[in-house]
Amino acid sequence: MATRTLARPPLAPGPGTRPRPSKWIWSWVGAGALSVAALLLVLAGYLGAGVGGGDVDWPALLTETTWSPANAAYGGLAMIYGTAVVCVLALALAVPVGWAAAIALSEYLPPRVARPLRLCVELLAAVPSIVYGLIGIIVVRPVIARWADVPGGDSLLAAGIVLAVMITPTVVAVSVDALAAVPDRCREAAFSLGLTRREVVRSAVLPLARAGMRAAVLLGLARALGEAIAVFLVVGRADGRLPTDVGGFLDSLVRPGQTLTTKLAGPEPVLAGTSGPHFAALCGLGFVLLALVAAATVWGTRGRGGDTAAGRTPRYRATARLRVQRDRLAATLRLAALLLPGVLLAGMLALLATRGSSAFDPSFWFTAATGSAGGGVRDQIVGTVLLVVTTGLLALPLGFGAGILIGVHASARTARVLQTLTVVLGGVPTILLGLAGFVILSSAMGWGRSWLAGALVLVPVVVPVIALATSARVRSLPPELTESALSLGLTRAQLIRSVVVPYAWPATVTGLLLGLARAAGETAPLLFTATVFFGAPALPGGVVESPVQALPTHIFTLSQDSGDPQAVAQAWGSALVLVLITAVLLCAAVVLRNRFEGERWTA
């Protein structure tokens, strides 16, 4: 009997099976890209208008040491010196430890051990800077006071140590990425020649990872240059004089000093008004700081990844003497360096758990503050959540649009320009964002202290993280998906809506959570624009003159009264609550990325 094969007759595609025209896509993508450029222009315009509002003697600003607004003397050399000293101290302490820990994490430990340790390092990188400042007050300053016989312990050395602790996780995380990018065939080829592990790392791995590890140092330097609050709490804020000899230099390390960020985070920007020579000199210092951070950020991200794939010829002269002993010594030192981040995390958690015991009481979370340092932190939690949620709603469409444009539509040159602008925006010191928001939103627009002004100045913190995560995900889109979609006759806008957006959204949400984890701990942008210490309602009733209370600024204010045990206990409890909120956002980002992307998570 003859058999007949049943087959469904082909159907011509109807008008309902094709994606609808998506003209709105270009408006959305363009708005995202323009927002990055507009935010940078607003910041540059604020600084430029401030400099133009008064005469700035640039040679005196860069070479003179006397800063006396009463005598119209504006010399910023002492602040530049303080910034350089604390950054060099931080790098000198953090880079050897960070590089050794990264090598141990990547080359010596098995993946099942390295993965949780790396997560601990990345959790350290996400700890809010105000918590590091609080630890500096309680732990570092007393040590400096006893060791150097300095009342209080405020000093450049204390600021350098706090910054070193802050940037070490960044150096470790970025260096591990660079080491992981080295192909395994390079290691296998080196082992096949009979080299020991130390010789393999030195001759085959480090030459290919050098560019990425250098980038880790420069990104850590950018963070150290732009940090304001943690340094503000331990540096002493004394303009001081420059040392003239080696003895004077060593003595200045254990004396109070001043940096560019702490000068801008002090009361002077509010007292200087919005024009005149005093305000112009402060804006000139802001230009100097922005230029330093932008140079470090752009140089640190220039050509990352490409150098690791380049076919360099390693140069290494092996010596036969004591090879095994030297290999064991190197392994011991590198594994010992890896213990430091673990000790830091354990010590920090122990301090938070023992000093912040009030946070374990449910009433601390759900009652309002009473007096200057009593009661709970309910209103501060509500204010922090309001700022974070509003910032996320504003930043998500802008960062997503910018990321899509960088990853899909822009030419290679335009994409490089947009990516560079995005990286620079992400590296802008947040104290400059706060001052720009104070002048533009709070003063010029008459909003005063407003929760919406605080959310707006936090948007530039979150948008670059979303844009860079989205564009990186879009670039990994398989070419066959794009070719299949275009072969079906989809326009570029329909391709974005039907293929690119569904493919990229997990990375976008991950970037959003990482950005919000950073924004939740920001203090400097909120000091002048959005928050008060006490007396504001939990939920604001409007926009103008509607401040909120937030955990970072609450901790900042309490920590400056370190002589009051009740204020210190309240600060530690608030710090524990803030760390838990940040950790929840960070862990959600890790889970989401591992769940949807199946890729190795990086900070």
Query: Which pTM was predicted?
Result: 0.81
Reply yes or no on whether the pLDDT at 5 is more than 70. no
C-alpha torsion 383→389→395→401, nearest 10: 180
pLDDT at position 387 over 90 = yes
Give the CB-side neighbour count of residue 229, counting CA atoms within 13 A.
Answer: 26
- Per-residue burial over 5-27, b if 16 or more Cβ lie within 10 Å, else e, is eeeeeeeeeeeeeeeeebeebee
- H helices of 272-322, in order, are 277-301, 306-309
Tell me the average pLDDT across 223-228: 84
- List pLDDT tens digits, range 57-110: 888 888 888 888 888 888 888 899 999 999 999 999 999 988 998 888 888 888
The Cα 151–Cα 335 span in angstroms is: 37
Reply yes or no on whether the pLDDT at 308 is more than 70: no
- Positions of CATH 1.10.3720.10 in the chain: 24-49+362-602, 82-259
* Average pLDDT of the residues in 246-273: 84
* Ramachandran bin of 218, using left for φ above 0, alpha for ψ from -120 to 50, beta for the remaining angles: alpha
Hey, what CATH class is 82-259 in? Answer: mainly alpha
CATH architecture of 24-49+362-602: Orthogonal Bundle (1.10)
Q: What average pLDDT does the structure give for the chain? A: 80
Give 381 or 348, the one with higher predicted confidence: 381
Using a pLDDT cut of 90, give the percent of the chain over it.
Answer: 7
Residues 6+ apart with CB under 8 A from 232: 133, 261, 262, 265, 266
222 by Cβ neighbours in 10 Å (0-12 / 13-18 / 19+) ranks as buried
Tally Cβ neighbours within 10 Å of residue 363: 10
pLDDT, tens digit (0-9, with 9 covering 90-100), for 548-564: 999 988 888 888 776 77
Residue 382 has pLDDT above 90, yes or no: yes
Q: What are the tens digits of pLDDT across the range 470-515?
A: 887 787 777 777 788 778 777 777 788 888 888 888 778 878 887 8
516-534 pLDDT tens trace = 888 888 888 888 888 888 7
Q: Which residues pair with 374 in a beta bridge?
A: 370
Long-range contacts formed by 581-585: CB under 8 A, 24+ apart:
581/381, 581/384, 581/520, 581/551, 582/126, 582/127, 582/128, 582/517, 582/520, 582/521, 583/123, 583/126, 585/513, 585/514, 585/516, 585/517, 585/520
| Residue 239 CB-density burial (10 A; 0-12 exposed, 13-18 middle, 19+ buried) | middle
Q: Give the span between the Cα atoms of 48 and 569, in whole angstroms.
A: 43
